[in-house]
Homo-oligomer: A and B are copies of this chain.
């Protein structure tokens, strides 16, 4: 059985995001999965996502990955809290209230980046998600995203 990606469980209306929308043909189409209590996304940046510093990944791109993966993690976390299996109901959609990224070292190009996240606070409509971004098992960046659920966007 193949695990279901969080992003494949959004209603069609919410599936056009540049970062994660399965229906955005020009987008990144990132995919996030549960691995125990952590959500994980792996992505190899295209060669043109270089930063200002030669040989390294563009910070805005790293922020984008964190943003989208955090949003999907918030949605999947809320579903899991209600003991509903992924895929049984459309996920609700979260928007970003704030995003903080600390860039701890330059992130090398030509690597598969690994984002590992968990929810640290879960309220009725707010979820805080913290993320580490790794390349070759080294932490390159950390993120914290405050996500807010769009009322009426899920199955409820």
Q: Please choose the segment from A16-24, A81-89, A118-126 that sits at the chain B interface, where 4 or more of its residues have CB less than 8 A away.
A: A16-24
- Taking the nearest CB of chain B, how far is it from the CB of A36, in angstroms? 25
Near B by CB (< 8 A), chain A positions 18-56 give 18-21, 24-27, 46, 48-54
Near B by CB (< 8 A), chain A positions 109-156 give 150
Q: Which residue of B lies closest to A13 (CB)?
A: B54
**Given contact pairs A64-B58, A95-B59, A106-B95, A51 touches B18 in the complex (Cβ within 8 A):** yes
Please name all residues of chain B whose beta carbon is closer than 8 Å to the beta carbon of A95 when the two chains form the complex: 51-53, 59, 103, 106
Contact A50 B17 (CB under 8 A): yes
Contact A99 B53 (CB under 8 A): no
Q: Which residue of B lies closest to A25 (CB)?
A: B48
Can you list 9 A-B contacts (CB < 8 A)? Answer: A18-B49, A24-B48, A25-B48, A53-B93, A59-B67, A59-B95, A59-B96, A60-B60, A99-B101
7 additional A-B pairs beyond A16-B54, A98-B102, beta carbons within 8 Å, are A17-B52, A18-B48, A24-B48, A53-B93, A59-B96, A63-B67, A99-B99
Closest 7 CB pairs of A and B: A60-B64, A26-B48, A63-B63, A17-B52, A18-B58, A60-B67, A100-B100
